[in-house]
Chain A
Amino acid sequence: MIKLWFKSGSPWIWLNAAAVSTCLIMVVGVLGLVAARGAGHFWASPIVSMSYQEDDGQVKTIIGEHVDTTVTPAAMAKSTGYKLADNEDVLIQYLIKTGNRDLTGADFRWIQERHVKTQTTPADMIVVERREWGNFYGQLTAVKEDGKVIASGEKVWNVLQERLKSALTLHEQITHLEKKEIGAINYGFEQLRLKQKSLELKNAWNAETVKEFATKKAAYDVDYKRYQAQLAELYQKIRRDSLVATTESGAELVIPLSKVVEVTQPNKMGTFAKIGHYFKKLGDFLSEDPREANTEGGIFPAIFGTIMMVIMMSIIVTPFGVIAAVYLREYAKQGFTTRLIRIAVNNLAGVPSIVYGVFGLGFFVYILGGNIDSLFFPESAPAPVFGTPGLLWASITLALLTLPVVIVSTEEGLARVPKAIREGSLALGATKIETLWRTVLPMASPAMMTGLILAVARAAGEVAPLMLVGVVKLAPTLPLDGNYPFLHLDRKFMHLGFHIYDVGFQSPNVEAARPLVYATSLLLVLVIIGLNLAAILIRNHLREKYRALEG
């Protein structure tokens, strides 16, 4: 009977079914992995205090967050050099984020579970998120003002929160002054320098312009001095307060509040407090600048850069894609040429993205950009303006890359518009372009939308070509700001996908950056899956609509 069953091919069908199941498991697994690790990053995990027996037999206290656990079979552990007793089957290890990098030299350490003597979660443990050196874990002892203790014991926590709040306000003011106001002045100075050079090149640099420029510069100087004075004052204020805390070894550490982002006591937090804290951290992650070589802080510039690039790309790719599709479907005689174009479109879709990057770098950046520079920006030489990778070239390169997506999708939409509608319009005396513009294209617009959404999803996730044509790991300025002409197409920008690659693989402290990379990945995955689902929904909706029309 079993033989017969095998002969019927049934097992094969089951195995084929297993392939589908495996694919589904893999999809769900990957998404689940990214979601779990990414979303978990913002949750305030408890701080444990362990007494741990070191290899040399000494018992020490370790304070930190529990990050990861591995279970290694005894055989493997022994082969990698761990000494286990005979009755131990497995080696359990914990990865503990101990922070305090400025004191110990490392953020993380692996410890063996069997050497942990006791483990507690004392309520008074604090986590200090610092602007430098990563997190601090320890116990708060006092708050100081100008080096004098102003609070200790019971009320120290409340005083600290109060002082920290004002320090954070001050910090915000300082950043605003430094980045916005002084940044604008620097930009103004640079523009003046370029203008002067341009006038010199045109031989129009004379006494009159010298005077004019001198007044402008003087005005900037006055502003600059004023801001400097304000800054000095703010800096003095922000440096006033500091907190004192003890580490796991009992040493005291003074942390100036100017270097502190947040102080929390996760072990005291209730569930609701933790939820509130979670969303606050999430908000910070989405809206703040990165710190510490991108391994901490937020990813706002990367989100902003990605969005800017995608918008620019959409503006370029939509008209070209739609026109090409309209030509293929409405104007061209179906035959050799259209066949050739379809093959070209398909090939364009199949060309590896890195090849687009190479093409973009060589053709757009060096040739087009280089010529634009020598024609329009001779004053900036030898520093390139458009002759170096930047937002514009990245957008054009990606527009070329996503062109096939828009063409194919639009063409499909056009093909679904019933012939009767075109004929009706033409019979009423409309010209071809009027028919297209007034009836066909509006009906096909959801299809164009689908194409555009897919193109955006593709562009948002593409990294390889961008590495060559304009993405950088850290852009000092955003491509859009308050300085004329507001949109700076020549600037380099940050990108979510590249951020993942850079932080995950190029950063000096991969372990510390890992949760951040997962969180960034989750964001990117959500955006891209959201866009794709939207495209699928629109497409399905469209199909329904035309089915109704045809019926």
Chain B
Amino acid sequence: MSELNNSITQSSLNTASTTAYEKWRLLKDAIMRRAVVAGGLSVIFAIVVIFFYLLYVVYPLFLSADAEPVAQYSIPEENEGKTLFLAIEEQNEIAARFTDTGKVIFFEAKTGKTLAQKTILIPEGAKIVSVAQSSPVSEGAVIYGLSNGQAVIIKQQYKVTFVNDKRVITPSLKYPLGETPLVIDDSGAALEKIAFKVGEGSTTIVAKTAATIRITSFEKEQSLFGDEASLTRTDSVLDMPASHITDILVDKEDRNLFLVSDDGQLSFIDISKKNAPEIKQHLNVVEAGQKITSLSFLTGDLSLMIGDSSGLVSQWSLVKDALNKPAFQRIRAFKVSDKPVIAINTEQRRKGFLTVDAAGEMGIYHSTAERELIKEKISDSAPLSTILSPRANALLLQSNDRKIHFWKVDNEHPEVSIKSMWQKVWYESYAKPAYIWQSSSASNDFEPKYSLTPLVFGTLKASFYAMLVAIPLSLMGAIYTAYFMSPQMRIYTKPAIEIMGALPTVILGFLAGLWLAPFIEEHLSGLFSMLVVVPIGVVLFALAFQNVPEKFRQKIPEGWEGAILIPVILIAGWIAFTISVPLETALFHGTLRDWFKSELGIGYDQRNALVVGFAMGFAVVPTIFSISEDAIFSVPKHLTVGSLALGATPWQTMIRVVLLTASPGIFSAIMIGFGRAIGETMIVLMATGNTPVMDLSVFQGMRTLAANIAVEMPESEVDSTHYRVLFLAALVLFMFTFVFNTLAEVVRQKLREKYSSL
């Protein structure tokens, strides 16, 4: 009794703490509930984050470029002469004005404040009559053609130093060929037009006087004693009338010379031999009645941008013609304006260019992408001179109303457009428009080719051949395993095939590349004969088995056909390989590979779509097999029993009842398998040559989106166009598989509902 009392008092004493404990329990329950809900929802969050992050990286590709005015000021030191051209250095801090009096005025790009003035050494009495910059503009070399037949070459330099962690840029001028003017025309005729290229040892100057066009080249020769270098001059006169020539250009290789005449004719002259220039081509580059108003090389000097008086800018590139001879051809044109194009400024690092027309309207374009990126009116009066900064993120323009305009340009990814990614593009030096993926090269002047079409094509090709192998094998296997196989054998067969799916694809790829590819190359005919011999062998064996006396047949339990057939298939396969050799010799007089090549013109790549088809088919079989086997197996039994009871054979029941009922499940299995084949990386990386060709042939390789990412991603510069295009490829893959998987999942859920209602 006392014990009971005790316990009661104790429990009443404990009440306070018990409630606290209860509260703590409930609190814990509530906290955990929240935590679990948050955790669960984070799965959705994860997939959303992946999607949006990919989108976030890709998005800037599709942002439009824009330009906005930063400053406008009157011409610095205006009384020092008229502007011949403007220059600006890389950091957009310092700009320069080159005048017709031989002055160079360096000023702050943002304010127009004069920083320094330099005077170019010109002989007494001579006047500047022509000026030109050499290609590429980034070298900063300038030539002045003088009225006395002489020329002066200078080079602008911007030296960057850091003083107290602050950047200081000091502009200066240099005379790369010495301060003495170079004598071009001995008779002293004025050099009306001029072009040049300063090379390592030699310098070429092409100048037009009133009567002749003269190609002069100076060889720098280091004398044995001291630093004094002497110049040896060789020159030749071009066999062409000079009077109509309005513009001259020499390319950066010092190999091609271009002359433009006032009737719209372009002459292309090979000057690789300086003493014997060779006139290659004369052609009309503008429509009749129009005039060439501006001319410039696109970066790399492989194509010319020609602006005319009708406001059309056309791109001309050296293309191999039908006779395999280089010839100039128009590869595209931009209608820039209705007014004459006054100037074309090309970007120094990309294939973009800037145009200004007579009405003061500026446009920025990209040649490969055929995009008009920016169109802005800069001033109401006609522009005089303009320059795009080396990084193409700022521009200077001097207009006729004696003002200089400084604009900021935001144009990160001009290379990409729907056309440049998905359609045929005519690239520089290519004979015709093509789909090409070639994202980078060692050279700076390279025209990136971002056509995703060959990659998508390669992806689809690889998965097509993989599905060609996988679908028959896995579906037929699933039908048999789910419906005809004995349960004992099924217990082992299903996991065995499913384990195939767990095999690392790197191992499949390695075997495909290093073992299967050489094997198929050697036994191509054996492979083809196997495709014929094995099914025939199986049917013949089945027929023979049918006629074996009942007594023997009953020894083998029903549903073990799969096991009996293993030796049959092995033997049939061996026979196929054995007969293939004499067959090949008899039918194709040599090897099948040679026959394909000589008779059908189909080349053979060792690592080709056939190898990928087998290897990737192998990887996809378990996926399709497992899901479709489940779908077939779970078809309600009363359906099949009913069908059999009505007198249908098992096979008829299979085809007419079971497959029909399970078809949505089989469809989703194929979808999921296809999704897997599309995204597979290692097998295609190792079993193909990874060349982005568009060739349907089963004996050629391909490059897939996934393999392309694996190959190029580690080397691409963060946030560059290349990087973003690779992300776009990943996004495309993501979307592909997202669509297929969602479709498959929805179909599967519907099917589940259907089964449960049956």
Residues of chain A touching chain B, judged by Cβ–Cβ distance below 8 Å, are 2, 5, 8-27, 30, 33-34, 70, 72-73, 75-76, 78-79, 320, 323-324, 326-328, 330-332, 339-359, 361-363, 366, 400, 403, 407, 431-434, 454, 457-458, 460-464, 467-468, 497-498, 500-501, 504-505, 510, 514, 517, 521, 524-525, 528-529, 532-533, 536
- B537 to A, closest residue via Cβ: A18
Contacts of B733 in A (CB 8 A): 352, 354-355
Looking at the assembled complex, report how far the CB atom of A511 sits from the nearest CB atom of chain B, in whole angstroms: 10
Contacts of B28 in A (CB 8 A): 431, 433
Contact, CB under 8 Å: B53 / A363: yes
Contact, CB under 8 Å: A16 / B477: yes
Contacts of B741 in A (CB 8 A): 346-347, 349-350
Contacts of A528 in B (CB 8 A): 502-504
B737 at the interface (CB under 8 A from A): yes
Contact, CB under 8 Å: B714 / A75: no
- B736 to A, closest residue via Cβ: A352
B511 at the interface (CB under 8 A from A): yes
Contacts of A348 in B (CB 8 A): 43, 46-47
Given A14-B565, A344-B44, verify A432-B480 contact (CB < 8 Å): no
CA A458 – CA B562 in complex, angstroms?
Answer: 29
Interface residues of B in 642-693 (CB under 8 A from A): 649-652, 654-655, 672, 675-676, 678-682, 685-686
Looking at the assembled complex, report how far the CB atom of B541 sits from the nearest CB atom of chain A, in whole angstroms: 8
Contact, CB under 8 Å: A350 / B513: no
Contacts of B29 in A (CB 8 A): 431-434
**Which segment of B395-403, B428-436, B584-592 sits at the interface?**
B584-592
Contact, CB under 8 Å: B480 / A17: yes
Residues of chain B touching chain A, judged by Cβ–Cβ distance below 8 Å, are 25-26, 28-29, 32-33, 35-37, 39-44, 46-47, 49-50, 53-54, 57, 472-477, 479-481, 484-485, 493, 495-497, 499-500, 502-511, 513-515, 522, 534-535, 538-539, 541-543, 546, 561-563, 565-566, 568-570, 581, 584-585, 590-591, 594, 618, 621, 625, 649-652, 654-655, 672, 675-676, 678-682, 685-686, 706, 709-710, 713-714, 718, 726-727, 730, 733-734, 737-738, 740-742, 745-746, 749
- A531 to B, closest residue via Cβ: B502
Contact, CB under 8 Å: A76 / B569: no
Contact, CB under 8 Å: A501 / B509: yes
Q: With contacts A347-B742, A352-B706, A521-B507 known, what are 11 further pairs, Cβ within 8 A?
A: A9-B655, A21-B562, A21-B565, A323-B36, A344-B43, A349-B741, A350-B738, A362-B727, A498-B506, A524-B504, A532-B499
Looking at the assembled complex, report how far the CB atom of A386 sits from the nearest CB atom of chain B, in whole angstroms: 15
Contact, CB under 8 Å: B713 / A10: no
Contact, CB under 8 Å: B625 / A23: yes
- B671 to A, closest residue via Cβ: A350
CA A205 – CA B522 in complex, angstroms?
Answer: 71
CA A345 – CA B565 in complex, angstroms?
Answer: 40
Contacts of A353 in B (CB 8 A): 679, 681
Contact, CB under 8 Å: B510 / A358: no
Contact, CB under 8 Å: B50 / A359: yes
Contacts of A362 in B (CB 8 A): 53-54, 57, 727
Sampled A-B contacts (20; CB under 8 Å): A17-B565, A19-B475, A20-B480, A24-B493, A24-B562, A30-B500, A70-B522, A327-B37, A331-B37, A341-B40, A347-B47, A347-B745, A350-B738, A357-B710, A463-B504, A464-B505, A505-B513, A510-B514, A528-B502, A529-B502
Looking at the assembled complex, report how far the CB atom of B226 sits from the nearest CB atom of chain A, in whole angstroms: 44
- B40 to A, closest residue via Cβ: A327
CA A460 – CA B481 in complex, angstroms?
Answer: 30
Contact, CB under 8 Å: A10 / B32: no
Contacts of B710 in A (CB 8 A): 354, 357, 464, 467-468
**In terms of DSSP, what is the predominant structure of the interface of chain B?**
helix
Of the candidates A347, A363, A432, A533, the one having the most CB atoms from chain B within 10 angstroms of its own CB is A347
Contacts of A26 in B (CB 8 A): 500, 618
Contact, CB under 8 Å: A18 / B618: no
Contact, CB under 8 Å: A27 / B46: no
- A346 to B, closest residue via Cβ: B745
Contacts of A514 in B (CB 8 A): 514
Q: Which of A73, A366, A433 contacts B585 (CB 8 A)?
A: A73
Given A343-B742, A431-B26, A501-B506, verify A15-B476 contact (CB < 8 Å): yes
Given A27-B496, A75-B590, A353-B681, verify A33-B476 contact (CB < 8 Å): no
CA A525 – CA B500 in complex, angstroms?
Answer: 10
CA A347 – CA B679 in complex, angstroms?
Answer: 13
Q: Which of B47, B511, B581, B594 contacts A34 (CB 8 A)?
A: B511
Contacts of A341 in B (CB 8 A): 40-41, 43-44
Of the candidates B39, B733, B740, the one having the most CB atoms from chain A within 10 angstroms of its own CB is B39
Given A79-B594, A347-B738, A468-B710, verify A17-B484 contact (CB < 8 Å): yes
Given A14-B565, A16-B480, A18-B538, verify A433-B33 contact (CB < 8 Å): yes
